[in-house]
Amino acid sequence: MEARRGFPRRREGIPGPTVPAPRGRLGGPSPRAGTGIANPPRRVYHPARLGAGDFGRRKVTTAAEAYFLDSPGGPLARRAIELAPPGPGEVLVAVGACGLCHTDLGFASGSVPTRHPLPLVLGHEVMGTVTAAGEGQAHLLGRPVLVPAVLPCGDCPFCRAGRGNACPRQRMPGNDVHGGFATHMLVPGAPLVPLDDAPGELDLRRLCVVADAVSTAWQALRRSGAGEGDAVVVVGAGGVGGFAIQVAHALGAHVLACDVQGERLRLMALHGAERTLAVGSVGPKEVRREVKAWLEGLGLATLRLRVLETSGTPEGQLLAYGLLAPAATLVQVGYTPHTVELRLSNLMAFDATVHGTWGCPPQAYPEVLGLIYRRLVALDPFVEEAPMSRLNELLGDMAAHRLTRRMVLDPRR
């Protein structure tokens, strides 16, 4: 995700198209399936140390393999691990696919620290099949599921208020506990989202990107209050921004997409953006003029304007903030470690609203999935499948901005 949780955590991994890492540090040879793991160190995956319960005395049964980040800067090392049987409330998930997010690059490059000390298995966009269930979770056995990037505790004032994505006791796979760059993972069963009502023609593995990119975009729009006929400006049409454009369009909003990449804007014009603006070649003042003219053309007052900042860059943040106008709303979605200088008094003068947003509560996932099942949000033009054995190479490609689609990684290859 574009990473966050608990208060300090919110600064850490946003999904950002941000956290660049030097190619050289991650571009080492990639381990291949079935090779490179001769005499692997045997590691016991110990859920107790990772906050998933005390199973130290249980018999270890499931042999698995996972890609560990051992030190900042990588590379990720493939090793065998042994998983304890799921304890009460837990399930064992055989990973079908795990998406590669910019936050993984931030963790792997060392620019963003993981909450759990290294070594840690990264990956937080997971779909898979439940192959073993602990007490109380038998109903999930054998079912395909999505593992949300934010796993709330389910029983705190935040969770009870429907704000589980802000739960202080939440766990993020690949940040607080071992993640999905593995053949198997142990997770709490309660937040999992069954996928067995998906249309038959849909490749379930591609749905893994819903666990962060699509659901984060959906939650950001919900936070903005955008609805039918409103005007949504998305600043940064990358992974999360691209899905935000599609979701906003599906909600019946008018969408204007801003990005520095013309090719990306051309793609988004086919998937929900009714207006595109190449920012980079034009300054913030001109963008403001264009947005104002767009609203006037639609006959909408600025009170119907929702701005989503999804670029995760200081320039994008300044641009998005500069688009605020009387009674308009801004939602900050992207992450950058850099600071920007803003005049907060503009909020007072405009009677404007700014929200942060983090992940998505698990109970909202069925609605997000419904948009994909009804073909209102497309995945195929935005994702690409690859063997997980190419993980290190792909992290290098991501650092060098060579990836144009969200990578969906198959742990069996």
> Which residues form the interface with Zn ion (CB under 5 A)?
1, 15, 101, 103, 152-153, 156, 158-159, 167, 212
Tokens of 348: 């007072």
Q: How far is the CB of 239 from Zn ion (least distance, A)?
A: 8
Report the C-alpha dihedral over residues 307, 309, 313, 315, rounded to 10 degrees: 0
For residues 122 and 231, which CB has a smaller minimum distance to Zn ion in the complex?
122
Q: Shortest CA distance to 116 belongs to which of 182, 66, 47, 64?
A: 47
Q: How far is the CB of 1 from Zn ion (least distance, A)?
A: 4
Q: How far is the CB of 17 from Zn ion (least distance, A)?
A: 11
Residues 222, 333 contacting (CB under 8 angstroms): no
End-to-end CA gap in the chain: 24
Q: How far is the CB of 284 from Zn ion (least distance, A)?
A: 28
Strands 329-332 and 305-309: parallel
Residues 76, 122 contacting (CB under 8 angstroms): yes
Contacts of 241 (CB under 8 A, 6+ apart): 17, 217, 234, 235, 257, 259, 308, 310, 311, 333, 334
For residues 212 and 259, which CB has a smaller minimum distance to Zn ion in the complex?
212
Which run of H or E residues covers position 197?
none
Q: How far is the CB of 288 from Zn ion (least distance, A)?
A: 30
Q: How far is the CB of 211 from Zn ion (least distance, A)?
A: 8
Kindly write down the DSSP assignment for every residue of 340-390, as one continuous string: ----THHHHHHT-EEEE--S--GGGHHHHHHHHHTTSS--GGGEEEEEGGG
For residues 33 and 153, which CB has a smaller minimum distance to Zn ion in the complex?
153
For residues 98 and 167, which CB has a smaller minimum distance to Zn ion in the complex?
167
For residues 103 and 313, which CB has a smaller minimum distance to Zn ion in the complex?
103
Residue environment code for 277-303, b if the CB has 16+ CB neighbours within 10 A, otherwise e: bebeeeeeeebeebbeebbeebeeebe
For residues 97 and 295, which CB has a smaller minimum distance to Zn ion in the complex?
97
Residue 184 — φ and ψ, nearest 5°? -145, 155
Residues 237, 273 contacting (CB under 8 angstroms): yes
Q: How far is the CB of 235 from Zn ion (least distance, A)?
A: 18
Q: How far is the CB of 241 from Zn ion (least distance, A)?
A: 13
CA 12 to CA 35: how far, in whole Å? Answer: 34
For residues 50 and 347, which CB has a smaller minimum distance to Zn ion in the complex?
50
Q: How far is the CB of 14 from Zn ion (least distance, A)?
A: 8
For residues 158 and 382, which CB has a smaller minimum distance to Zn ion in the complex?
158
Q: How far is the CB of 46 from Zn ion (least distance, A)?
A: 23
For residues 100 and 328, which CB has a smaller minimum distance to Zn ion in the complex?
100
CA 185 to CA 115: how far, in whole Å? Answer: 18
For residues 50 and 153, which CB has a smaller minimum distance to Zn ion in the complex?
153
CA 58 to CA 169: how far, in whole Å? Answer: 25
User: Per the omega criterion (within 30 degrees of 0), is the bond before 8 cis?
Assistant: no
Residues 347, 321 contacting (CB under 8 angstroms): no
